[in-house]
């Protein structure tokens, strides 16, 4: 098991003792198995204090049921010793790069140290992979002319949604633009509901009648096609949260193009005036269709444009940075301090929509360079593997599992029928039974024939 002798390990330890990052890496490696065999008490203590992994180093005989036995390192087989170490069940400390945040109107910045457990690492990786694979399938189905109409892919931007989701509480709501498939999945739609909707089948979330831009679900207000049009809607949802006093946040996500809309500034004004519980999230993918940010925005520092609303610029390709910023923003809003803006700098790897090759207004080399160096999934996977939080095998298993899942769902959806022509009169109008100030959301999702209301409405129009 040992690669180097005890004495040289100890020497290295002493040498790197003051170089925290290096030492932690060192402690994370399997060479530790050898280290604990021969080290003195001072070094044991040092490991215990500094290692994100080691929870316990024992000098008593190895107990039958060490906590985390599967993970715990029964280290010293063959080393004629009774020491063992057990793995920490809490997370590892993962440092972030120093330049991932810039703040406006705030005295503090999100922490540059992120705590991450193995389970979380696997969860985030799986979530990003599922979105990407689903989008890749959507792209292929579109090219195969099985999906028609609008279709805006989220490939490249996955860290934005996946990084924010852990900060959302059970009553929090999300509203976003037409680039919504990833968010739909995170907000509880199934892959079948999303692919079914894209394919126009009755198993889709809007029974195949809404398509790419119009998916809704519990606490998920869509999918919205008008650029910036949903920013006031998200602000209205925040007003509803405040009115209902339910402690929830309205997460309102939009693009750099939408950030220039007049209604965005009107929304900022009302949100600050009324101290609404809202996080405005600008997914700045550098382009508004074919127009680069510096050509459409006089000020591309979107996080500074809320006047009295504070903001944070975040490396949106770094999942952990997004998560830290999301946590910070959620705590800020839940403390009753009012709105906050997050600018997540990201990049879309595909064209604006399926009808845009995405290469006439930006060079292929620009796209290739960013895909190579800034891919949020690849970089996150490399980081957590280097930290020994997960293994290459874990990553391969996720890839395999996700690919299989998506293929099965796609095959299933392709066998489902499209909605019939009679369905034109389904779910068009809502009949309000009680006098309420807001329609009950459950009612809106009922699948019912409302042709009698259509007739009634026509009569009203004639009169
Ligand atoms: C009010 C309005 N104007 C123009 C359009 C056409 N349009 C659709 S998407 C888009 C670009 C929006 O860019 P951005 O807000 O950065 O979002 P992204 O597509 O990059 O995610 C435009 C101009 C529209 N849908 N609505
Ligand atoms: Mg954009």
pLDDT single digits (tens) 354-410:
999 999 999 999 999 999 999 999 999 999 999 888 999 999 999 999 999 999 999
Place of tokens 């005890």: 6
Distance 460 CA to ligand 1 centre (A): 36
Q: Which structure tokens are listed for 290?
A: 């074919």
pLDDT in tens, 306-362: 999 999 999 999 999 999 999 999 999 999 999 999 999 999 999 999 999 999 999
Answer whether residue 11 shows pLDDT above 50: no
Q: Which residues of 16-50 are buried (b: 16+ CB within 10 A; e: fewer)?
A: beeeeeebbebbbeeebbbbbbbbeeebbebbeee
Query: Span 140-144, mean pLDDT?
Result: 98
pLDDT of 14 reads: 46
Parallel/antiparallel/unpaired status of strands 278-284 and 340-345: parallel
pLDDT of 52 reads: 53
Q: Which structure tokens are listed for 398?
A: 């996720």
Query: Span 137-141, mean pLDDT?
Result: 98
pLDDT band at 31 (very low <50, low <70, confident <90, very high): very low
pLDDT of 435 reads: 58
Distance 280 CA to ligand 2 centre (A): 15
d(CA 224, CA 404): 30
Q: Which structure tokens are listed for 153?
A: 């892919």
Distance 152 CA to ligand 1 centre (A): 11
The DSSP letter of residue 258 is G
Q: Is the CB of 157 under 6 A from ligand 1?
A: no
Q: Which residue has the higher pLDDT, 398 or 82?
A: 398
**What residues form DSSP beta bridges with 46?**
none
pLDDT of 460 reads: 59
pLDDT of 92 reads: 86
Q: Is 366 helix (H, G, I), strand (E, B) or coil?
A: helix
| Residue 423, phi then psi, degrees to nearest 5 | -70, -5
Q: Is the CB of 255 under 6 A from ligand 1?
A: yes
Residue range(s) of every CATH 3.40.50.970 domain in the chain:
95-414
pLDDT of 91 reads: 75
Alpha helices (H) in 144-285, listed in sequence order: 158-164, 181-186, 191-198, 230-244, 262-273
pLDDT band at 425 (very low <50, low <70, confident <90, very high): confident
Q: Is the CB of 285 under 6 A from ligand 1?
A: yes
Q: Which CATH class is domain 95-414?
A: alpha beta
Contacts of 233 (CB under 8 A, 6+ apart): 175, 221, 224, 252
Distance 289 CA to ligand 2 centre (A): 7
Answer whether residue 57 shows pLDDT above 90: no
Please, are residues 1 and 30 in contact by the beta-carbon 8 Å criterion? yes
Q: Which residue has the higher pLDDT, 43 or 303?
A: 303
d(CA 392, CA 330): 33
Ligand 1 pocket test: pick from 179, 227, 261, 355 the residue with the most ligand atoms within 8 Å of its Cβ.
Answer: 227
End-to-end CA distance of the chain: 89
The DSSP letter of residue 347 is -
| Residue 151, phi then psi, degrees to nearest 5 | -160, 105
d(CA 158, CA 344): 11
pLDDT of 219 reads: 97
Q: Is the CB of 10 under 6 A from ligand 1?
A: no
Distance 180 CA to ligand 1 centre (A): 13
Distance 151 CA to ligand 1 centre (A): 13
Distance 153 CA to ligand 2 centre (A): 12
Answer whether residue 283 shows pLDDT above 60: yes
Tell the residue nearest (CA) to atom 10 of ligand 1: 289
Q: Is the CB of 226 under 6 A from ligand 1?
A: yes
Greatest CA separation found in the chain? Answer: 96
| Residue 403, phi then psi, degrees to nearest 5 | -60, -45
Strands (E), 74-187: 84-87, 92-95, 101-104, 113-116, 173-175
Q: Whole-prediction pTM value?
A: 0.79
Tell the residue nearest (CA) to atom 25 of ligand 1: 226
Please, are residues 121 and 389 in contact by the beta-carbon 8 Å criterion? yes
**Which of ligand 1's atoms lies nearest the C-alpha of 254?**
15
Answer whether residue 440 shows pLDDT above 80: no
| Residue 36, phi then psi, degrees to nearest 5 | -65, -15
pLDDT of 446 reads: 60
Tell the residue nearest (CA) to atom 18 of ligand 1: 255
Answer whether residue 413 shows pLDDT above 80: yes
Answer whether residue 22 shows pLDDT above 60: no
pLDDT of 135 reads: 98
**Which of ligand 1's atoms lies nearest the C-alpha of 261?**
1
pLDDT band at 187 (very low <50, low <70, confident <90, very high): very high
pLDDT of 388 reads: 85
pLDDT of 325 reads: 98
What mean pLDDT, rounded, does the chain reach? 84
d(CA 90, CA 116): 8
Ligand showing the shortest atom-to-Cα distance for residue 177:
1
**Which of ligand 1's atoms lies nearest the C-alpha of 229?**
1
Answer whether residue 23 shows pLDDT above 50: no
Q: Is 57 helix (H, G, I), strand (E, B) or coil?
A: strand
- Quick one: what percent of the chain has pLDDT higher than 70? 75
Q: Is the CB of 260 under 6 A from ligand 1?
A: no
Distance 228 CA to ligand 1 centre (A): 8
């Amino acid at each position: 098991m040992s690669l180097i002798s005890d004495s040289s390990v100890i020497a290295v330890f002493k040498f790197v003792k003051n170089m925290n990052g290096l030492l932690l890496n060192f402690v994370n490696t399997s060479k530790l198995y050898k280290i604990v065999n021969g080290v003195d008490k001072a070094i044991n203590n040092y490991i215990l204090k500094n290692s994100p992994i080691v929870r316990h180093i024992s000098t008593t005989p190895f107990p039958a049921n060490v906590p985390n036995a599967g993970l715990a390192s029964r280290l010293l087989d063959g080393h004629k010793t009774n020491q063992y170490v057990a793995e920490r069940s809490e997370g590892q400390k993962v440092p972030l790069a120093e330049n991932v945040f810039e703040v406006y109107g705030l005295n503090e910045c999100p922490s540059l140290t992120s705590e991450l457990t193995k389970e979380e690492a696997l969860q985030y990786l799986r979530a990003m992979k599922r979105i990407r694979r689903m989008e890749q399938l959507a792209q292929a189905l579109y090219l195969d002319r099985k999906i028609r109409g609008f279709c805006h892919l989220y490939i490249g931007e996955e860290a934005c949604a996946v990084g924010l989701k852990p900060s959302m509480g059970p009553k929090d709501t999300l509203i976003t633009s037409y680039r919504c498939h990833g968010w739909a999945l995170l907000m509880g739609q199934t892959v079948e509901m999303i692919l079914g909707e894209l394919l126009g089948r009755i198993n889709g979330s809007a029974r195949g009648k809404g398509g790419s831009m119009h998916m809704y679900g519990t606490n998920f207000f869509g999918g919205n096609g008008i650029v910036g049009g949903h920013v006031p809607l998200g602000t209205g949802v925040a007003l509803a949260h405040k009115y209902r006093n339910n402690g929830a946040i309205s997460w309102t996500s939009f693009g750099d193009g939408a950030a220039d809309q007049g209604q965005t500034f009107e929304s900022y004004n009302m949100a600050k005036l009324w101290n609404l519980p809202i996080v405005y999230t600008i997914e700045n993918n550098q382009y508004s269709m074919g127009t680069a940010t510096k050509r459409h925005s006089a000020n591309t520092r979107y996080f500074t444009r809320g006047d009295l609303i504070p903001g944070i610029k975040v490396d949106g390709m770094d999942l952990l940075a997004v998560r830290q910023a999301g946590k910070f923003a959620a705590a800020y809003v839940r403390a009753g301090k009012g709105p906050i803006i997050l600018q997540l700098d990201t990049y879309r790897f595909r064209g604006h929509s399926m009808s845009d090759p995405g290469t006439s207004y930006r060079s292929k080399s620009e796209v290739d360079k960013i895909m190579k160096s800034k891919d949020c999934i690849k970089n996150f996977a490399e980081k957590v593997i280097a930290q020994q939080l997960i293994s290459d095998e874990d990553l391969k298993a996720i890839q395999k599992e996700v690919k299989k899942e998506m293929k099965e769902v796609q095959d299933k959806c392709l066998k489902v029928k499209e909605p019939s022509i009679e369905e034109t009169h389904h779910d068009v109008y809502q009949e309000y039974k009680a006098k309420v100030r807001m329609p009950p959301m459950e009612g809106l999702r009922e699948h019912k024939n409302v042709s009698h209301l259509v007739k009634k409405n026509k009569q009203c129009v004639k009169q």
